[in-house]
Amino acid sequence: MIKIKVSEIFTSFQGEGPYVGTPATFLRLYGCNLNCEWCDTDVSTYEILSVGDVCEILISQMEFNNIKTLIITGGEPTLQMDEIKGLIKELPKDIKIQLETNGSIFDYITEIEYVISPKENKEKVFENYYKYENTFFKFVISSQKDINEVISLKNKYNYNKTIWLQPEFSQDIEITNLLRENFPRLENVKLSVQTHKYLNQR
């Protein structure tokens, strides 16, 4: 029996990124392989559940709330990618599944969409995923250097799809102003704001 380490399951609006505002059920998996200084996610506690039990909880929560989107997040969910693949096999096929990942563990499958937020080795992460249709990139921006990195990746890989730029929350106003100053150099970008934090939601 496949087991998954689950930190929490809840239903809310997606607060950030390309699908901001979408009602969704969230499956937050335990653990991360990185240690970002501004990390705001508590994945210190977890329960070990069978894939069957997780599936049952998700389906009942999604049916009750009339939800069609499942967001698998973390931490870093790809640490449990085999378990995720087992879960996907058991879930109804009409559920849209998105995976929020830092992209450091490359594991691409066609059944899901990826929202990739590279934190380390950003170019390698970008190179691995940028050519796939169902991938979206969201970069946390905390400095001019971060903006320069995004611009150079867009140019080097001739990437014309939208990229979401998310000001690091503790300096949200300053970084938004900095992004505005960079407008002449930015193309096909959108601002991603962590709306759930302003609204005191999960």
Q: Is 202 in the site for ligand SF4 (CB under 6 A)?
A: no
Beta strands 113-116 and 96-101 are parallel
Cα torsion through 131, 137, 143, 144, rounded to 10: 40
Which of 15, 17, 74, 167 lies at the binding interface for ligand SF4 (CB under 6 A)? 74
- Give the pair of three-digit tokens for residue 155: 């140019």
The tokens 């790809």 sit on which residue? 78
Q: Is 27 in the site for ligand SF4 (CB under 6 A)?
A: no
- Strand-pairing partners, residue 140, are 166
In angstroms, the CA 136 to CA 116 distance is: 6
Contact at 8 Å (CB) between 102 and 79?
no
- Within 114-133, which residues bind ligand SF4 (CB under 6 A)? 119
- Within 39-68, which residues bind ligand SF4 (CB under 6 A)? 39, 41
DSSP class of 161: S
Q: Is 168 in the site for ligand SF4 (CB under 6 A)?
A: no
In angstroms, the CA 99 to CA 108 distance is: 10
Contact at 8 Å (CB) between 129 and 155?
no
- What's the N-to-C CA distance of the chain in angstroms? 31
* Residue 192 assigned to a binding site: no
Q: How many residues bind ligand SF4 (CB under 6 A)?
A: 11
In the complex, minimum distance from the CB of residue 37 to ligand SF4, in angstroms, rounded to a whole number: 9
Beta strands 135-141 and 163-167 are parallel
In the complex, minimum distance from the CB of residue 173 to ligand SF4, in angstroms, rounded to a whole number: 21
Collapse the DSSP code of 164 into the 3-class scheme (helix H, G, I; strand E, B; otherwise coil) and give the result.
Answer: strand
Q: Is 83 in the site for ligand SF4 (CB under 6 A)?
A: no
Which of 10, 21, 34, 63 lies at the binding interface for ligand SF4 (CB under 6 A)? 34
Q: Is 76 in the site for ligand SF4 (CB under 6 A)?
A: yes
Q: Is 102 in the site for ligand SF4 (CB under 6 A)?
A: yes
In the complex, minimum distance from the CB of residue 56 to ligand SF4, in angstroms, rounded to a whole number: 26
Q: Which is nearer to ligand SF4, 34 or 199 (CB)?
A: 34
Chain residues in the site for ligand SF4 (CB under 6 A)? 32, 34-36, 39, 41, 74-76, 102, 119
Annotated binding-site residue numbers for S-adenosyl-L-methionine = 38-40, 75, 117-119
Annotated binding-site residue numbers for substrate = 13-15, 28, 73
